[in-house]
Amino acid sequence: MDFSWTDEQVGFRRRVRNFLQANLPKDWYENYVFGLGSEQQLDFSREFCAKLAEEGLLTSHWPKEYGGADSSLWDLFIESEEMWDFAEPRGPQYMGTNWIGPALLKFGTAEQKAEHLPRIASGKYIWCQGFSEPQAGTDLAALTTRAERAGSKYIINGMKIWTSYAYKADWMFLLARTSSSRKSISVFLVPMNAPGIRVVGFPGLVEPGHLHEVHFTDVEVPVSARVGEEGQAWPIVTYALSHERVGLPRYQWADRVLGLAIEMLKIDGKFTETLQAESARILAKIEVARVLAYAVMNERIADGARAEATLPNVQRIAAADACSDLLSFLMDNLPETLCGRSKFIELFYRAQIVSTIASGTYELQLDLLSHRALQLPRMYT
């Protein structure tokens, strides 16, 4: 098997890296990288992504007619690896480019594509994901936010929780119940400035400003805001989540953090043989996650994102395992990096400690895997 990159891909990676070095502020690590949900980082994200878009680097893997360059999905991956090496300066816009855009490309109407894809491709719009509710996380089908049809409109009432970046988002990719049957859920594209939407932030480990409740009181959207047929959210959600789950090369961030940690341990004279062996073991796990991510990408390029694919779950589990081991390694051997010595490592710690929960829990990944790959009965319904 040949794992090497082509000359073109190496050139593309160099272009992205040069761009990052030229366009990230000099105080990036001190003042921006610390706050995934901070106002400063989110404002920065709009300017930075607009520049990326002008350079043709934001959505190069999209079709030309929607602001892309028809380039391979590998370019998306190369770009994401480079971004995560800098703790993802695109901020929430990775969601627009990585999975909301692709979901609209596959399931959106011509009108929705024309309205939203050029905006996402411009890098100036922030989206949030309105899936989880207080009683509906893993069990998404239990959600109670309702969208009731009233002629040419839907009227939305209910509440979402854990909504990352909601206070700065322009649009929400919303799931709402459109009839009382358990699985009758539909997807809506909702402008966050619609009357009746109230966003309330709450503190979280990642950063104040990251997490929110979003309340809907008689929010009206036109029928044309619905993606797909009424009650047919599941194929869209499955497709979007399979993109989301592998869209983040966390292993790249972990790789960078492990390298920094080793440098510090060497400076401190603490890089003992035991720690060398431990860090080598973690590095091997990071590389497993990387190779599995490449395998997912390979499969996707060959066959598209199939709902029944199991590799994305395997990759997600491997990446979460590698990150968890690294978090323990940091806590055991460099606890001072988590309280002042390194903002970059502290952010990694804060962001990755939730990686076994956000975008589908670790246990859910195992459940999906056991069901799809081993044909065992499902624990979650």
Ligand X SMILES: Cc1cc2nc3c(=O)[nH]c(=O)nc-3n(C[C@H](O)[C@H](O)[C@H](O)COP(=O)(O)OP(=O)(O)OC[C@H]3O[C@@H](n4cnc5c(N)ncnc54)[C@H](O)[C@@H]3O)c2cc1C
* Owner of token pair 């996650």: 289
Cβ nearer to ligand X, comparing 9 with 157: 157
Residues 261-290 that bind ligand X (CB under 6 A): none
Strand-pair category, 197-202 with 185-191: unpaired
Shortest spacing between CB 165 and ligand X, in angstroms: 7
Q: Two tokens at 14?
A: 């160099």
Shortest spacing between CB 310 and ligand X, in angstroms: 18
Q: At how many degrees (to 10) do helices 250-267 and 73-85 cross?
A: 30
Residue 138 in contact with ligand X, rule: CB under 6 A: yes
Q: Segment contacting ligand X (CB under 6 A): 36-44, 159-167, 194-202, 252-260? A: 159-167
Shortest spacing between CB 168 and ligand X, in angstroms: 12
Cβ nearer to ligand X, comparing 78 with 104: 104
Cβ nearer to ligand X, comparing 24 with 353: 353
Per CB under 6 A, the list member of 80, 163, 337, 352 interacting with ligand X is 163
Residues 176-235 that bind ligand X (CB under 6 A): 206
Contact 361, 316 (CB under 8 A): no
Cβ nearer to ligand X, comparing 144 with 272: 144
Spatial CA neighbour of 186 closest among 136, 112, 130:
130
Q: Segment contacting ligand X (CB under 6 A): 130-138, 257-265, 291-299, 320-328? A: 130-138
Residue 361 in contact with ligand X, rule: CB under 6 A: yes
Helix boundaries (H) for the chain: 7-23, 39-54, 73-85, 93-95, 101-107, 110-122, 233-246, 250-267, 273-303, 311-333, 343-352, 362-374
Residue 154 in contact with ligand X, rule: CB under 6 A: no
- Position with the least CB separation from ligand X: 137
List the beta bridge partners of residue 216: 158, 197
Q: Segment contacting ligand X (CB under 6 A): 5-13, 213-221, 361-369, 370-378? A: 361-369
CB neighbour list of residue 275: distance below 8 Å, 6 or more residues apart: 265, 333
Residue 142 in contact with ligand X, rule: CB under 6 A: no
Per CB under 6 A, the list member of 93, 129, 342, 365 interacting with ligand X is 129
Q: Segment contacting ligand X (CB under 6 A): 15-23, 129-137, 214-222, 322-330? A: 129-137
Per CB under 6 A, the list member of 23, 283, 357, 371 interacting with ligand X is 357
DSSP per residue over 216-247, as a string? EEEEEEEGGGEESSTTBHHHHHHHHHHHHHHS
* Owner of token pair 């000099």: 26
Distances (CA, A) of 153 to 188, 220, 269, 312: 12, 6, 66, 36
| b/e per residue 76-99 (b: at least 16 CB within 10 A) | bbbbbbbbbbbbbbbbbbbbbbbb
Contact 76, 101 (CB under 8 A): no
Shortest spacing between CB 132 and ligand X, in angstroms: 3
Residue 137 in contact with ligand X, rule: CB under 6 A: yes
Residues 295-354 that bind ligand X (CB under 6 A): 354
Number of residues that bind ligand X (CB under 6 A): 22
Shortest spacing between CB 381 and ligand X, in angstroms: 7
Q: Two tokens at 306?
A: 């199939």
Binding site for ligand X (CB under 6 A): 128-132, 137-139, 162-164, 206, 354, 357-361, 363-364, 379-380
